[in-house]
Amino acid sequence: MVLRQAIIENAKRAKREGRLQQQHYFAPLKEESRKCLKTLATYRANSRNPYTTRRYPLSRVAAVLVALFIGRWGDLYVLLSRRADDLKSYAGDTALPGGKREKGDKSPEDTARREAYEEPALNTPEVSILFSHPLRSLIVPPPSFPSLYHSQLSASDMNPEAPTPPSDQPPYHTFNDIEWGEPKTHVRIHKFLTGKEPNVKPLFGLTAAILLRVATIGYADVRPDFDIEAPDQRSMQERLFWAMLNEPKLVEACKKEGIQMKRNDGSAAAKTQATFPLSTPAVRVKKEFNSFVI
């Protein structure tokens, strides 16, 4: 009788845990999340495959993957990592999975998928932490981001029982306009807290710019309450063109690969097309099993 009762209790417990797991892992999508996924899945950049157009040096090309998944409350989250401290470049930074183009990669999407698989799955020494971040919070920053408290909750569904962040907590989103190029113009550098400081650095620089681009495309109906670009910021295509004419490593790579550049005055000029300089994000929409390049 005791054994039979124990078996019945275990079965009931397993059933309860199964229901809880199903509720946790299969939360229904919010309507705005569903709309965002559909928008991203149908988006197409106004440029051809940069690996075949030969518009800029392939030896200096890289790509990153923006992997989206559903959070516990039906919001969309993006997969991020903290780079290992012993890496030669960008050690300890918060990053998207990705890396340089390799021979055999036919498109930025190939590069992004290959690198994303290698980093978390095979090259574990390169990644010290994997974590997630709510995508929508990049264009609708919460009043106070719950750093070190309950960072995995959506900004729109904070747990009322969770501890309140201290009043002196740094702001979730800040930006700084830095001088860039000739003639001197400015580029806006955004910074977003990850909720895991001080062990993890904030989202910053190109990683933040890529995710802002993804968020503004996906949540097209949502207007940020801040300007994404500096007042005098040049377009990405203009900045890429300038860099290929002036940055020594890019100039040398262009020469080696036979890419002829021209200046606006006619002394040098090849028109160039690109959407992101030296790093093209391929976004993997896991729910829809579609992908695209920005």
Structure tokens belonging to residue 69 = 């998944």
Q: Cα–Cα distance between 186 and 261 in angstroms, integer? A: 24
Regarding predicted confidence, which is higher, 180 or 175? 175
Residue 146 pLDDT: 56
What is the model's pLDDT at position 39?
94
- pLDDT (average), residues 27-54: 84
Confidence band, pLDDT 50/70/90 cuts, at residue 12: low
Residues forming a β-bridge with 83: 127
Structure confidence at residue 167 (pLDDT): 57
Please check the confidence at residue 166 and state whether its pLDDT lies above 80.
no
In the chain, what percentage of residues exceed pLDDT 70?
Answer: 68
The span from the CA of 53 to the CA of 50, in Å, is: 5
Average pLDDT of the segment spanning 117-145: 77
Q: What is the mean pLDDT of residues 147-152?
A: 42
Three-state SS string across the chain, please?
CHHHHHHHHHHHHHHHHHHHHHHHHCCCCCHHHHHHHHHHHHCCCCCCCHHHHCCCCHHHCEEEEEEEEECCCCCEEEEEEEECCCCCCCCCCEECCEEECCCCCCCHHHHHHHHHHHHHHHCHHHEEEEEEEECHHHCCCCCCCCCCCCCCCCCCCCCCCCCCCCCCCCCCEEEEEEEECCCCEEEEEEEECCCCCCCCCCEEHHHHHHHHHHHHHHCCCCCCCCCCCCCCCCCHHHHHHHHHHHCHHHHHHHHHCCCCCCCCCCCCCCCCCCCCCCCEEEEEECCCCEEEEC
User: Is the confidence at residue 162, as pLDDT, over 50?
Assistant: no
CA angle (107, 112, 118) in 5-degree steps: 130
Q: Are strands 203-204 and 76-83 parallel, antiparallel or unpaired?
A: unpaired
Which has the closest alpha carbon to 222: 33, 18, 47? 33
134-150: average pLDDT:
72
- pLDDT bin (cut points 50, 70, 90) of residue 54 is confident
- Does the pLDDT of residue 4 top 60, yes or no? no
Would you place residue 158 in the very low, low, confident or very high pLDDT band (cuts 50, 70, 90)? Answer: very low
Instruction: Work out the average pLDDT over 101-122.
Output: 81
Has residue 263 got a pLDDT over 90?
no
Task: Give the residue-averaged pLDDT of 12-28.
Answer: 57
Q: pLDDT tens for residues 224-239?
A: 989 999 999 998 888 8
Backbone angles phi, psi at 195, to 5 degrees: 85, 5
Give the pLDDT band of residue 279 (cuts 50, 70, 90).
very low
pLDDT above 90: residue 288: no
Q: What integer best gives the mean pLDDT of the chain?
A: 76
Find the distance separating the first CA and the last CA of the chain, reported in whole Å: 65
Q: Per-residue pLDDT averaged across 36-53, rounded?
A: 83
7: pLDDT strictly greater than 70: no
Predicted confidence at residue 48, as pLDDT, reads 74
pTM, to two decimals: 0.74
Tens of pLDDT, residues 190-243: 999 998 888 889 999 999 999 999 999 999 999 998 999 999 999 888 888 899
Residue entry with tokens 């009322």:
160
> Vertex 276, ends 79 and 42: CA angle to 5°?
65
Q: Tell me which of 31-35, 99-103, 263-267 is least confident.
A: 263-267
Average pLDDT over residues 128-137: 89
